[in-house]
A and B are shown apart, each in its own frame.
Chain A
């Protein structure tokens, strides 16, 4: 048995599925954010795997670095919003947040 591209693609696809499941079913806003992180990691793994096995060069890793940068800034902004919502509503369950104001 030899590890090839298709094995990395399967790991990444299952990871994406679990992330999508988390985003779709969670009610806790932080839980939804965890699912987004899983999806971003699955995409980054795909970039690196395709670069290693097919494309050659370095561009896949460059895109992965940009994914990491954007994921970090996205997490910081999203958590700041979550904190502010918690201050206003005393809850961060997504199905209970129905008002945009007050």
Chain B
């Protein structure tokens, strides 16, 4: 019987990669979008095994609660229900397979042939350290990040609204 941490890692990795496979290969855009939920959950679990508990909570709140809902809205607003069966066609599969096989070969060679320090570390909570880093060393990037979010929010509202011409704008 392998230890619990190994079983947990293998289960989370299987969840992540299995759902990512559905995202990549499903013919139905709704199935792809819903499978992305499994990938995000699996990544959140992997964050916990890497002692990044705050990131796991953020991952679920922001990705599952925000981004995924937004993508589902976009899918529903842009696909007609009757041609939902093949709503996500793909092309150039053979060429893509070739390029990705080469990329993965290079990545795998680098990852296996480098001598990484191999001691395993215990998982400890890190939320307090993260908070101190954001309000100390990384204060300026933190504030710039909030300005970026505000700009993205205003920009997406301006882009997505229906262009209504008022009477005094015509001519």
Contacts and interface: CB of A to CB of B under 8 A. Distances in A.
Q: Is the interface of B mostly helix, strand, loop or mixed?
A: helix
B116 to A, nearest CB: 5
Contact of B58 (A6, A65, A74): A65
Main secondary structure on A side of the interface with B: helix
A54 B9 contact: no
Interface residues of B, number: 81
A53 B121 contact: yes
Interface residues of A, number: 70
Given A4-B120, A24-B92, A66-B141, A17 B103 contact: yes
25 contacts: A3-B6, A7-B13, A10-B108, A13-B107, A18-B24, A20-B99, A25-B91, A25-B93, A28-B89, A30-B33, A30-B75, A48-B47, A61-B130, A68-B62, A69-B145, A73-B153, A76-B70, A79-B73, A80-B160, A82-B74, A83-B77, A83-B78, A83-B160, A86-B77, A93-B89
